[in-house]
Structure 1
Amino acid sequence: MFRTRSFPLRVIPAALALSILPATPPAMAAKPAPPLDPSAPMVAVAESTSQVWTALAVLPDGRMILDSPAWTGAPGPTLTLRDTGGATRPFPNAAWTDPATAPEHRLVSAESLQLADDGTLWVLDSGLDAADHPVAPPKLVQIDTRSATVTRTWPIDPAVLRPGSHVAGVRVGRGHAFILDSGVPGLIVLDLDHGPQRRLMDHHPSLTAQHPIIAGGHVVRDGSDRAAIVNATEIEISPDGQWLYYQPPCGPLYRIGTDLLTDPTITSFELDDSTTLWYKTPPLGGMTVARDGTLYFDDVSTGSIFRFTAGRVYQRIVVDPRLRWPAAPAITAAGQLYIPTAQLDRTPRFNHGQMAVQWPLTIYRIDTAALPAPVR
């Protein structure tokens, strides 16, 4: 999820950052609604005393697949299955998370998860260890969650990677996988049926972090004590597969049509002009989309959860000091929103090489179906 670039804060003044944003048309103005008061109730559903979970998938029977990338510096398997009683085991099995297994048949660092309605789990493996050293080529892995078996893998073509690449986010739709390269800003489009892979929007400003991340009232810093600049890692796809949403953690959010990304006749110039500045989001730990097209954002700067409806109504539903760096959420068909708290600013990558997480880390659940509709 995170490969950082380091810049002293003085290197990117606001005027310069604004000047290098793409000249793309903004969407219609959003319509803010008053924050929910009181905040939506949060229920603690799981805790970790050793692993940093940055994403999750919730199965229909209530079991959870939990993602702990290597770069968090925490021990244990990169994917874990937690049953409804709280017991955990490596997922899909011990062999796929065993360092002794051949690299092409194991998960080194799961960076992003997507659960499909048919029970398919898509997993993006960067192949990088905690220090960003390559252990295995990056790959997309398809897992049948009903049988806990890997059904297919797609190695990422070296031709679409660059020195310093770090694949960080994936969404699948319309027969294609859309993969963010956070190490060297770009978008990789993989045709799942026919195999071709293309790299698009290389170094596009919408994929490139223009300013640091603010979390807990402070600028997030890397191991060199400089502002950590993280390119696009956050990605989501609309329920109909028509739109791809993406952003660097610092924001803002952009949108582009998937029909343009999957059409090999579209030129790079046409793509550059087709991105839309969708919303000026705060720094995000993750986002997810509900069946009705509502986007849910985890704001790491204030410990808040926001919703952004298909009608462009923006509303804070939760603010809570327990949400220290809320990470990539997941929402079920019934509207149960799950939010892992990751405290990433206390992990070695962003804390002078030291693990200072205050255990336990908690996953919370919010029943969004029980919330009142946002009223402007």
Structure 2
Amino acid sequence: MNKYILTWLLPLAMGLASCSQPGNSGNHQKKEVAATHADNKLEQVFADSTYQLTGVAVSADGRMFVNYPYWLDKHTYSVVEVGKDGKAKPYPDEAWNRFKKGENGLNKFVCVQAVFADEEGYLWIVDPAGIGLSDVYQKSNKLIQIDLKTNQIKQIYRFPENVAGIKSYINEIRIDNKNGFAYMTSSANGGIVIVNIKTGASRLVLHNHYSTLSDPTYHFKMNGREMMNAKGVAKINSDGIALTPDKAWLYYKSLTDNKLYRINTAILRDFKSSEKAIEGAIEDLGKFVATDGMEFDQNGNLYMGDLEHSSIVKISPDKKMTTLVQDTAKLSWPDSYSITRDGYLYITCSQIHQMPFFNNNKNLTQLPYKVFRLKIK
């Protein structure tokens, strides 16, 4: 088993994010409201009985996209569009989804980790190209922008070695079209990748910084025990990120602990900002839950999945946390999120903790993999 598999998988808006809760101190603690709402129902919208999925994106006009990382030996398509009939077809076409080991992966999907639909009609696809969460395959990691009107590739962004090199694993993404920037987490070794989507220039910041590394004192438990792999306790670094509605703040956190951080995007957009200045601008928001992905709605509420308790939680701008729904059967590792204009939170359940990596090479997955949606307004 490659060591990068073992160390990665082996790795509120305007009110919360502006002046109402400014604190830099890690002493800020949440006010948790233990209130599960009986009327909140998880509605299944897609299922796959064969391949493991991670990301979901729903466009402004209701088109749904799902991605499949190339983690296990069994793999076919990387990105699909799910039709109204529930059937999936490769997106944007067969050619991009036809990669095989040994081939050139520069202009094909190799190992897609995330998809994101922005408000301007583009689908963004993150391809860390880390087959089995191993080294980047033949320098083919990339960020792809697709025009949903034409279903054609608009731009492919590639990265220099000092931004996303052979040992990197780029992960979640959020887009700021207002200022022209993309933000991605780098999970293999902790960090934030910033891309100027107008010029293509990119930068890695907070590499190996404590805020992008999983807290070594936190004991992340799944299946009734601390999650382990062949090398010991599993620690997954910077993973989930979210942008406030005004794009002024980037929220981010490691996966296997409950700490949450934010930073003003103005300092990130200025590529002349020193690493020291960026580190000094970090705000510690306190402790909440161990989540994979997270997302803001337009009212500044932040949604997360509480992995350890199979729950979806909402953190309001005044930092009160409410449990919206808990379901140990359905919410098996809630992974990624997409919020639609009609008030639904879409949720993928990837069952990562059931993979052989964490269970002495036994696959405990309970098929199918599923996507749900939850009415939030």
- Give the shorter-chain TM-score range: 0.7 to 0.9
Gaps (5+ residues) in structure 2?
Answer: 11-22
Give the AA of the match of 1:298: G
Task: Map Cα deviations across residues 142-178 of structure 1 (whole Å, 9 max, x no partner).
Answer: 0112322211101011132355221122222121122
**1:189, 1:199 within 8 Å by CA — same for their partners in 2?**
yes
- Judge which range, 29-38 or 181-190, deviates more: 29-38
Question: What is the alpha-carbon distance in structure 1 between the residues aligned to residue 286 and residue 84 of structure 2?
Answer: 37
1:249 counterpart = 2:266: no
Alignment of 1:39-58 (within 5 A): 40-58=40-58
Q: 1:351 is matched with which residue?
A: 359
**Does the 8 Å CA contact 2:186/2:238 hold for their aligned counterparts?**
yes
Q: Using the TM superposition, name which of 44-53 and 351-360 deviates more.
A: 351-360
Question: What amino acid is the match of 2:152?
Answer: T
Alpha-carbon distance, 1:24 to partner: 5.1
Structure 1 residues 32-181: aligned runs within 5 Å: 32-38=32-38, 40-71=40-71, 74-99=74-99, 102-130=104-132, 132-137=134-139, 138-162=141-165, 164-173=167-176, 174-181=179-186
Give per-residue Cα distances to partners, 1:298-326, cap 9 Å, x unaligned: 11101000001123221001111121111
CA distance in 2, matches of 1:76, 1:89: 11
Summarize the Cα distance change of 1:196–1:134 in structure 2 as closer, same or farther, 3 Å threshold. Answer: closer
Return the alpha-carbon distance in structure 1 between the equivalents of residues 361 and 156 of structure 2.
Answer: 33
TM-score when normalising by structure 1:
0.87
What CA distance in whole angstroms lies between the structure 2 residues aligned with 1:234 and 1:3?
18
Q: 1:81 to 1:27 in 2, by over 3 A?
A: farther
Task: Tell whether the 8 Å contact from 1:62 to 1:83 is kept in structure 2 after alignment.
Answer: no
Aligned in 2, Cα 1:92/1:355: closer, same or farther, shift over 3 Å? farther
Please say if residues 56 and 66 of structure 2, whose CA atoms lie closer than 8 Å, have aligned partners that are also in contact. Answer: yes
Match of residue 338, structure 1, among 333, 343, 346: 346
For 2:283 and 2:222, how far apart are their aligned partners in 1?
A: 26
If asked which structure has higher relative contact order (CA below 8 Å, sep 6+), I would say 2
CA contact (8 A) 1:3 1:166 kept: no
Q: Distance in 1 between matches of 2:210 and 2:333?
A: 25
The residue identity in structure 2 corresponding to 1:245 is Y
Unaligned segments of structure 1, at least 5 residues: 9-22, 370-376
1:363 aligns with 2:365: no
Equivalent position SS for 1:105 = coil
| Distance (Å, rounded) in 2 between the aligned partners of 1:143 and 1:90 | 14
1:18-76 per-position Cα deviation (integer Å, ceiling 9, x unaligned): xxxxx952385533334134261111221110122211012345432101111255522
Contact 1:216 1:302 in 2 (8 A): no
Judged with a 3 Å threshold, the aligned counterparts in structure 2 of structure 1 residues 63 and 350 are, in CA distance, closer, same or farther, namely farther
For each residue in 1:168-223, what CA deviation from the matched residue of structure 2 results, as whole angstroms up to 9, or x when unmatched?
2222212112222211222222212123222212211000012353223322222x
Equivalent in 238, 245, 251 of residue 239 of structure 1: 245
1:4-15 matches, cutoff 5 A: 4-5=6-7
**1:230 maps to which residue?**
236
Distance 1:336 1:313 in 2: 21
How many Å apart are 1:268 and its aligned residue?
A: 1.7
Confirm whether residue 288 of structure 1 aligns to residue 289 of structure 2: no
Aligned mate of 2:206, from 201, 207, 213: 201
* Residue 337 (structure 1) shift: 1.0
User: What is the deviation of 1:4?
Assistant: 4.4
Match of 2:307 in 1: 300
Q: What secondary structure is seen at the aligned counterpart in 1 of 2:168? A: coil
Q: Which moved more, 1:252-261 or 1:29-38?
A: 29-38
Aligned to 2:235, what secondary structure does the other structure show?
A: strand
| Aligned: 1:189 with 2:194 | yes
User: Which letter does structure 1 place at the counterpart of 2:190?
Assistant: P
Decide whether aligned partners of structure 1 residues 90 and 297 sit closer, same or farther in structure 2, where only a CA change above 3 A counts: same
Aligned-residue offset at 1:225: 5.5
Shift in Å, 1:80: 1.3
Secondary structure of 1:328 counterpart: strand
For residues 267-278 of structure 1, the aligned pairs below 5 Å read 267-278=274-285
- Larger deviation: 349-358 or 334-343? 349-358
Count of aligned residue pairs for this structure pair: 352
| Corresponding residue of 1:312 | 319
SS in 1 for 2:171: strand
Contact 2:194 2:204 (C-alpha < 8 Å) held by counterparts: yes
Q: C-alpha separation between the residues in 2 aligned to 1:163 and 1:97?
A: 22
Provide the secondary structure at the position in 2 that maps to 1:103: coil
Q: Which residue of 2 aligns with 1:329?
A: 337
- Per-residue deviation, residues 103-158 of structure 1 (Å, max 9, x unmatched): 22111111122211122111111012125143242111101123222111010111
The Cα RMSD (Å) is: 2.3
Greater shift in the superposed pair: 260-269 or 150-159? 260-269
Query: Could you tell which deviates more after superposition, 38-47 or 285-294?
Result: 38-47
- Looking at structure 1, the residues matched to 60 and 201 of structure 2 have their Cα atoms a distance apart, in angstroms, of 33
Matches of 1:122 and 1:43, distance apart in 2:
25
Q: Distance in 2 between matches of 1:162 and 1:131?
A: 14
3-state SS of the aligned residue for 2:295?
strand
- Secondary structure of the residue that 2:77 maps to in structure 1? coil
2:136 and 2:168 in contact (8 A); partners too: no
Answer yes or no: is 1:265 the counterpart of 2:272.
yes
Query: What is residue 220 of structure 1 aligned with on the other side?
Result: 227
